[in-house]
């Protein structure tokens, strides 16, 4: 919980001397500062953005006015106003997720308050700095600021400030899952707020109690406190507090499977937070709605809100935000089947996991630090009291001693006896005090050494765990790498070798560039008993390991269509291949994936040609086949495919085929979409796609070159276009000269 906004008290300006700065009266400017501060206070709860504009104007006016002030009283007033404006703006920036600006404003306000010895304002700045460092996971630093704030408020008798510090100490325990301790702090704060009629503070305490009871699975108590908070926040017209209460009520309804009510409250909370640009609140609502739609089996909506939470996390600079949003998106992308994005998000999650303190040992360490902090504070208080007692006792003894000298001047012997007795008593008491202080110091030192030793042990254990995890990661990486290399060998085995193609085609080339180690693209060859050749280039669903798995299934289906079923015509081969691919996936066609039904639509696009001398018979699934006639003026011929893949499709039709007579020297080209779809060029950002028209023009330009030169030219053109950018897909281009 942050402290609420501050506003300086307006005092009479009539006694201030009149002067002019840039043509404006100092008294008028000072009165304007007070008005801007007060007007911002009046609209802050309902219109925080408009309040921000007023306070920024007031701050600019303070900075403009201060260099020209000579009157000490007026200068102090303007400095107090500047401190209050900086503090109030820090609340706005924190809600907008601007951590750096929040800390800068708080530290600037604190510097002014220390200069003016304004202890109440110093306390509130300490309190808010503690909140920021707690949000960043720096719990020990946050605890130090909370204790400083609490000590000042108790000395000043500022009950509202004490309540605020107690709430923040409750936050620390709640974040470490010490729920009983958190409840104790929140209830203490609520009792104080009721006594001083702090309605806004009561709203915060009720919301905090609702959160802790929710974490303890005490849903009815959580709902009761959230509704109580909503009643007060509605009456006070506090938009931010209303949104928090609505959010907590929605979460309880979601756990109770009252989904319609949960959706209503969560969306209403997001609407309010968006209206006041509460970035931290919008992040919370986005996470809650993503989980809601995930549980409701609406993956697209869950992804929409998950991406919203991640975009905000990138702005707020909180490790907790990045950790939670990346963890959520990794799970959602995995369920969507986008494993690359799921892997990327998992990496971001693990990177930010190191910034959190969430293990049981860390929680125990925090608890011991907290207890040691207060043990030292109690020790210091006891020492101060003992020293005061000793001084008071010495003073009283001195007075009594002087009184005895005056009263018993005649009896020297008795005076000396009393003096000796008083001195002995004083010496004994001082000796006892010194012994007691030394014993307390020794016990405190032993306790501190014990805490340090336990901390050192915890750090060493964590280091050992990290080293073990690193070794496990290295073993896992090697196992995965070995598996991928083996998969590459398997995929290489299903494609024709160089010698086999050279024996069939005197002049040909193959440009094969997988995106990863293994590929979803492949090329296939089979020679029929009639000496006719079947040649194909295929592009399977996906790339990398998933694409390679599909390519093996599809290649095997082509081989069975020809060898097992004796088919020789391209259209018949594609029909049978489609049937075999669908049959292969039939047993998994309605498999359960994370409690979701998912149809498997894996398959391939392919261009298949039968070459009988100079006659080409072609059938295709989404992939065309191009022919460029030889001669000075190159003629381009395209044989278009059927617009359907090999695999399950919405409307499956019979495949057709085209026959074309070619001349000697003509070039036949088959290819996947990897070349035309590659992003690159001299363009900013991701660049532009190469596209099919420039690809066709490139092939026409090089078609009369020898096949080895064609392959080198295509490879060079692809690399030049791609530049330093990532290759987005597998690539396969085959050229055969008839």
Q: What is the arithmetic mean of pLDDT over 285-294?
A: 92
**pLDDT band of 236, cuts 50, 70, 90:** confident
Classified as helix, coil or strand, 731 is strand
Q: What is the arithmetic mean of pLDDT over 476-499?
A: 76
Query: pLDDT at residue 485 above 80?
Result: no
Rounded Cα gap, residues 541 and 551, in angstroms: 8
Instruction: List Cβ<8 Å contacts ≥24 apart for 129-133.
Output: 129/103, 130/168, 131/1, 131/2, 131/94, 131/168, 131/171, 132/94, 132/99, 132/102, 132/103, 132/106
Name the most confidently modeled range: 303-317, 396-410, 609-623.
609-623
Q: How many Cβ atoms sit within 10 Å of the Cβ of residue 508? A: 18
Rounded Cα gap, residues 707 and 333, in angstroms: 43
pLDDT more than 70, % of the chain: 85
Considering Cα of 228, then 229, then 230, then 231, what sign does the dihedral take?
Answer: positive
Q: What is the arithmetic mean of pLDDT over 416-429?
A: 79
Name the most confidently modeled range: 75-84, 413-422, 507-516.
507-516
Q: Is 23 exposed, middle or buried (0-12, 13-18, 19+ CB in 10 A)?
A: exposed
- pLDDT tens profile 568-589: 999 999 999 999 999 887 765 5
Higher-confidence position of 725 and 475: 725
Report the pLDDT value the prediction gives residue 245, as an integer from 0 to 100.
93
Report the pLDDT value the prediction gives residue 660, as an integer from 0 to 100.
94
Query: pLDDT at residue 408 above 90?
Result: no
Rounded Cα gap, residues 586 and 550, in angstroms: 14
Cα-to-chain-centroid distance, residue 42? 34
Token pair for 53? 């504009």
Q: How many Cβ atoms sit within 10 Å of the Cβ of residue 302? A: 24
pTM of the full predicted structure? 0.40
**pLDDT band of 216, cuts 50, 70, 90:** very high
Q: What is the arithmetic mean of pLDDT over 411-419?
A: 70
Residues linked to residue 592 through DSSP beta bridges, in sequence order: 597
Q: What angle do CA 623, 628, 633 make, to 5 degrees?
A: 150
Query: What residue has token string 């809601």?
Result: 292
Q: What is the mean pLDDT of the chain?
A: 83
Cα-to-chain-centroid distance, residue 354? 13
Higher-confidence position of 714 and 321: 714
Nearest to 232 by CA among 207, 256, 253: 207
**pLDDT band of 362, cuts 50, 70, 90:** very low
Rounded Cα gap, residues 293 and 336, in angstroms: 14
Q: What is the arithmetic mean of pLDDT over 73-102?
A: 86
Higher-confidence position of 373 and 437: 437
Instruction: List Cβ<8 Å contacts ≥24 apart for 385-393.
Output: 386/433, 386/436, 386/437, 387/433, 389/433, 390/429, 390/430, 390/433, 393/426, 393/429
Query: pLDDT at residue 367 above 50?
Result: no
Rounded Cα gap, residues 331 and 329, in angstroms: 5
Considering Cα of 691, then 692, then 693, then 695, what sign does the dihedral take?
Answer: positive
Query: pLDDT at residue 28 above 90?
Result: no
Rounded Cα gap, residues 582 and 233, in angstroms: 60
Report the pLDDT value the prediction gives residue 5, as an integer from 0 to 100.
53
Contact 607, 573 (CB under 8 A): no
Report the pLDDT value the prediction gives residue 389, as an integer from 0 to 100.
39
Report the pLDDT value the prediction gives residue 473, as an integer from 0 to 100.
81
Nearest to 451 by CA among 440, 439, 459, 462: 459
Rounded Cα gap, residues 584 and 347, in angstroms: 34
**pLDDT band of 14, cuts 50, 70, 90:** very low
Rounded Cα gap, residues 557 and 580, in angstroms: 6
Rounded Cα gap, residues 548 and 698, in angstroms: 29
Tell me the CA distances in angstroms from 88 to 8, 59, 123, 358, one per residue in order.
Answer: 11, 11, 14, 32
Contact 245, 207 (CB under 8 A): yes
Length, in residues, of the chain: 738
From 345-349, 382-386, 460-464, 488-492, the region with the lowest mean pLDDT: 382-386
Report the pLDDT value the prediction gives residue 413, as an integer from 0 to 100.
67
- pLDDT tens profile 584-608: 877 655 544 443 443 456 789 999 9
Query: pLDDT at residue 545 above 70?
Result: yes
Rounded Cα gap, residues 336 and 734, in angstroms: 34
Query: What residue has token string 């000042």?
Result: 152
Contact 689, 678 (CB under 8 A): yes
Name the most confidently modeled range: 141-150, 418-427, 708-717.
708-717
Rounded Cα gap, residues 278 and 290, in angstroms: 18
Query: pLDDT at residue 391 above 60?
Result: no
Report the pLDDT value the prediction gives residue 534, as an integer from 0 to 100.
97
Report the pLDDT value the prediction gives residue 386, as an integer from 0 to 100.
33
Cα within 13 Å of Cα(589), Cβ side: 12
Q: What is the arithmetic mean of pLDDT over 414-426?
A: 76
From 403-407, 456-460, 655-659, the region with the lowest mean pLDDT: 403-407
- pLDDT tens profile 325-359: 889 999 999 888 888 888 888 888 887 765 554 43
From 256-265, 314-323, 549-558, 660-669, the region with the lowest mean pLDDT: 314-323
Those residues with Cβ within 8 angstroms of residue 20's Cβ, 6 or more apart along the chain or in another chain: 26
- pLDDT tens profile 161-205: 788 888 888 877 887 788 898 899 999 989 998 888 888 889 989
Report the pLDDT value the prediction gives residue 479, as an integer from 0 to 100.
64
| Rg from Cα positions in the chain | 39
Q: What is the arithmetic mean of pLDDT over 1-15?
A: 44
Report the pLDDT value the prediction gives residue 387, as an integer from 0 to 100.
39
Instruction: Supply the DSSP symbol for 8.
Output: P
Contact 41, 7 (CB under 8 A): yes
């Amino acid at each position: 919980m942050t402290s609420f906004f501050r506003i300086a008290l307006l005092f009479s300006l009539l006694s201030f001397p009149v002067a002019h700065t840039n043509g404006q009266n100092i008294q008028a400017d000072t009165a304007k500062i007070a008005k801007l501060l007060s007007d911002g206070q009046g609209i802050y709860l309902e219109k925080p953005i408009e309040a921000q504009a007023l306070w920024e104007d007031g701050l600019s006016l303070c900075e403009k006015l201060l260099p020209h002030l000579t009157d000490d009283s007026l200068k102090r007033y303007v400095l107090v106003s500047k401190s209050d404006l900086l503090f109030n703006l820090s609340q706005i920036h924190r809600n907008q997720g601007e951590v750096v600006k929040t800390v800068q404003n708080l530290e600037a306000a604190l510097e002014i308050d220390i200069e003016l010895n304004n202890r109440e304002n110093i306390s509130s700045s300490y309190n808010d700095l503690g909140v920021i460092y707690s949000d960043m996971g720096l719990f020990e630093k946050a605890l130090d600021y909370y204790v400083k704030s609490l000590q000042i408020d108790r000395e000043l008798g500022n009950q509202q400030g004490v309540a605020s510090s107690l709430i923040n100490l409750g936050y620390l325990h709640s974040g470490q899952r010490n729920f009983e301790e958190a409840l104790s702090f929140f209830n203490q704060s609520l009792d104080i707020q009721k006594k001083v009629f702090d309605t806004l503070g009561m709203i915060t305490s009720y919301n905090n109690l609702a959160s802790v009871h929710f974490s303890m699975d005490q849903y009815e108590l959580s709902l009761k406190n959230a509704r109580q908070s909503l009643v007060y926040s509605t009456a006070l017209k506090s938009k931010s507090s209303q949104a928090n209460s609505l959010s907590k009520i929605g979460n309880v309804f979601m756990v109770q499977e009252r989904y319609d009510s949960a959706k209503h409250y969560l969306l209403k909370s997001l609407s309010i937070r968006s209206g006041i640009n509460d970035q931290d609140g919008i992040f919370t609502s986005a996470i809650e709605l993503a989980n809601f739609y995930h549980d409701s089996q609406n993956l697209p909506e869950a992804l929409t809100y998950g991406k919203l939470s991640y975009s905000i996390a990138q702005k707020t600079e909180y490790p907790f935000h990045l950790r939670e949003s990346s963890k959520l998106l990794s799970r959602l992308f995995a369920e969507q089947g986008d494993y690359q994005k799921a892997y990327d998000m998992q990496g971001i999650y693990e990177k930010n996991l190191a910034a959190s303190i969430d293990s049981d040992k860390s929680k125990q360490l925090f608890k011991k630090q907290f207890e040691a902090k207060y043990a030292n504070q109690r020790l210091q208080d006891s020492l101060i009291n003992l020293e005061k007692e000793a001084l008071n006792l010495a003073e009283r003894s001195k007075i009594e001693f002087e009184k005895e000298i005056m009263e018993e001047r005649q009896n020297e012997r008795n005076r000396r006896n009393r003096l000796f007795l008083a001195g002995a008593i004083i010496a004994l008491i001082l000796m006892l005090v010194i012994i007691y202080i030394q014993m307390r110091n020794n016990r405190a030192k032993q306790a501190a050494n014990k805490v340090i030793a336990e901390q050192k042990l915890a750090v060493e254990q964590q280091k050992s765990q990290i080293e073990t995890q690193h070794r496990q990661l290295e073993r896992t990486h090697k196992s995965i790498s070995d598996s991928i290399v083996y998969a590459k060998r398997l995929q290489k085995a299903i494609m024709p070798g160089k010698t086999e193609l050279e024996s069939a085609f005197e002049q040909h080339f193959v440009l094969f560039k997988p995106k990863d180690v293994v590929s979803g693209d492949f090329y296939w060859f089979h020679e029929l008993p009639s000496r006719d050749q079947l040649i194909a280039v295929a592009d399977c669903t996906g790339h990398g390991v998933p694409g390679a798995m599909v390519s093996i299934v599809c290649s095997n289906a082509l081989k069975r269509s020809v060898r097992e079923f004796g088919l020789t015509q391209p259209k018949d081969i594609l029909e049978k291949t489609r049937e075999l691919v669908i049959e292969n996936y039939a047993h998994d066609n309605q498999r359960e994936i994370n409690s979701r039904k998912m149809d498997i639509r894996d398959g391939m696009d392919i261009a298949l040609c039968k070459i009988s001398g100079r006659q080409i018979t072609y059938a295709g699934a989404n992939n065309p086949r191009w022919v460029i006639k030889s001669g000075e003026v190159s003629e381009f011929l395209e044989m278009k495919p059927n617009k359907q893949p090999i695999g399950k499709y919405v409307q499956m039709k019979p495949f057709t085929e085209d026959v074309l007579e070619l001349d000697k020297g003509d070039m036949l080209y088959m290819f996947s979409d990897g070349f035309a779809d590659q992003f690159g060029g001299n363009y900013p950002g991701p660049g532009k796609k190469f596209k099919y028209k420039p690809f066709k023009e490139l092939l026409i330009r090089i078609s009369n070159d020898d096949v080895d030169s064609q392959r080198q030219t295509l490879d060079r053109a692809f690399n030049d276009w791609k530049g330093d950018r990532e290759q987005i897909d597998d690539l396969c281009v085959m050229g055969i000269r008839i």
